[in-house]
Structures are given as C-alpha cells and as structure tokens.
Homo-oligomer: A and B are copies of this chain.
Amino acid sequence: MAKNQIQSFESGLVLNKQQKNVLIVYAHQEPKSFNGALLREAVETLEADGHSVEVSDLYSMHFEPRCQRTDVVGSVQNEGFFKYQMETKSAWENGTLSADIKVEIEKLKRADLVIFQFPLYWFSVPAILKGWFDRVYTMGFAYGMGNMYSTGPMKGKRGMLSFTTGGPGAAYYPDGLNGDMNVLLWPLQNGVLKFVGFDVLAPQIHYAPAHVSDDDRKQWLTDWAKRLHNIFEEPVLNFVNSSNFSNYKLTEEYLEGESSKQFGPTVGQNIGKPFSSTGMLKP
C-alpha cells in the first residue's frame, strides 16, 4: 500500500496536500536502455507513493522537433514574413497552436514536477527534446516580458534533468577533458529550466552506465528510487533572484554585497570570480 494511501486513513487533508502531478519528458529510442530503466523506476516509485504520473515518450510519439509554419493552425498575422516567436505567441492567445503543442502545454500546466530523462548528446539534450523546449515553451505561455526567471510562469513547479553520459565522470571535472559539468549545465538549468520559472532540482547524472556492472546499475536504480521518495521535500539549486537585476545587469547594491566573497554568485553570473565547484550540482 502506498505511503499516501496509508496517510489517507489518518488524515484526508494530508492526502490532498501530498499527492502531486509529475510529468516525465523522456527522450530515448530503446525501452531496454538504462534511460528506459530509469523511466520505469521513476513511474513505479512515484505512482507507488500516490502521485499521478504522465509520460511524454517523445520518440514513440514521433514528436516533431522543428519550429515551422504548421505550428499555427489557419492564418498567421504576416504570411509574407514569418516570425516564429511572434506568430506562435498570437496562436497561443487565439487558441490556434497545433494540437501536439497544446497537449504538451496542458501536461506542463498540470505538473508539479517535471523530470527530463535523456542521454546527453553533444553536451546537451537530444534534438527531439530540444524541439520540445523550442515548441512547447511558447512565448506568452512559458515566458514574456517581465515574466522570466524568478517570476516565470512555471514558478512553484519543480524541474530537473536526469541524464546519462557516454564518457566517465572524471572527464567532467574542472580539470577534465570535457570540462566542468557546472559549465555544461548552466545553459540548460538556467537557460531552459530557471528561465521559465522552475525551481531547479539537482541533476540526476549517471556517468557511463554502459561501462558498469549489472549490479552497479541495479544499485543506481535503487538510489534513484530512494531520491524520488523525497523529491518534493528536497532543497533546490541556488540562482540569483531576478529582483537583483536592473536593465539586464546586477545592481550596484547587489554587487557590493558580493564584493568580499570568494566565489561569484553563480556559474553564469560569475562577475569575473571563480565559482562554486558544485553550484549546478547540489543545492
């Protein structure tokens, strides 16, 4: 019997408060892959805990990654000069976005937690998942003037990356062949998750699962499940609050407060200093 169900005998109110909606956006071709195993582990664990889980299995859905004219149904504002961002913003307002985008937007609206499960391709997400961000994050819905970062529309939702790598963990240190994982994660965790308002959870990274034993992979799945049991109570990663910027720049006042500190505030807002070696990895 699931945790929430037990609690529901004790207090009906607790049940309502703890039962959450989770969306997993999954980008792997092969169910037998370790990504597939991580997906199933997450679905089973979260459902057993009483949560409601939806999965967008992008390859199975044949999800379209390209931003095109067909993303707007019917006429556009300017057929002679197609501006994707502006036309899809209008389409969002008018309810004329293509059906596949609308479905994903509704899933995103419902979700309290979104997990992106993928293998790292070229130091980023696979194209099919990049296309999910490019198309589902419609202007107007996912961001707008004054609605980004701390005040982004996904405010209050939790978002996280869960991914596998081909190369070993050693390659992703600040003295590693592929470079500091904190740097690699900044564009995704700040630019894709935080930008639209998510509270960003530490990434779940599995380095080179193809090169470890079956026992190790089993242990990794057990650890993943353990983490998921408490995923709504975890502290989140640290970003600079948007209120500390004026005209796209950190305020003088904020910078003064940082002046005596050893590290820059974040990887991206490093203000010319070294940054924490775990800033994008741990709360």
Q: A83 to B166: give the CA distance in the assembly, Å.
A: 12
In the complex, whether A270 has a CB less than 8 A from a CB of chain B is yes
Contact with B along A125-161 (1 / 0, CB 8 A): 1111011011101000000000001000000000000
Residue A10 lies at the interface, judged by CB distance under 8 Å to chain B: no
The complex places the Cα of A186 from the Cα of B180 at a distance, in Å, of 10
How far is it, in angstroms, between the C-alpha of A174 and the C-alpha of B274 when the chains are bound? Answer: 11
Q: Does A217 contact B (CB under 8 A)?
A: no
Which residue of the partner chain, among B126, B175, B269, B270, contacts A249 with CB atoms under 8 Å? Answer: B175
CB distance from A179 to the nearest CB of B (A): 2
Q: Kindly list chain B residues whose C-beta atoms are within 8 Å of the C-beta of A190.
A: 123, 178-179
Residues B183 and A267 in contact, CB atoms below 8 Å apart: yes
Pick from B66, B82, B174, B186: contact of A179, CB below 8 A. B186
Cα–Cα distance between A177 and B250 once the two chains are bound (Å): 7
B124:A127 contact, CB within 8 angstroms = no
For A240-260 the 0/1 string (1 means CB < 8 A from B) is: 001001011110000100000
The answer on a CB contact under 8 Å between B166 and A271 is no
Q: Looking at the complex, which one of B68, B170, B245 makes contact with A59 (CB distance below 8 Å)? A: B68
Instruction: Say whether, besides A59-B68, A130-B122, A175 and B250 are in contact (CB < 8 Å).
Output: yes
Chain B residues within 8 Å of A80, by CB: 32
Q: Give the residues in chain B near A245, CB-CB below 8 Å.
A: 177
**A135 contact set on B, CB distance < 8 A:** 127
State which of B59, B134, B188 has its C-beta within 8 Å of the C-beta of A121. Answer: B134
Contact in complex: A178, B268 (CB < 8 Å): yes
Interface centre among A122, A175, A273 (most CB of B within 10 A): A175
- Chain A residues with a Cβ under 8 A of chain B: 29-30, 32-33, 59, 62, 65-69, 80-85, 121-128, 130-131, 133-135, 137, 149, 166-168, 170-171, 173-180, 183-184, 186-188, 190-192, 195, 242, 245, 247-250, 255, 264, 266-274, 277
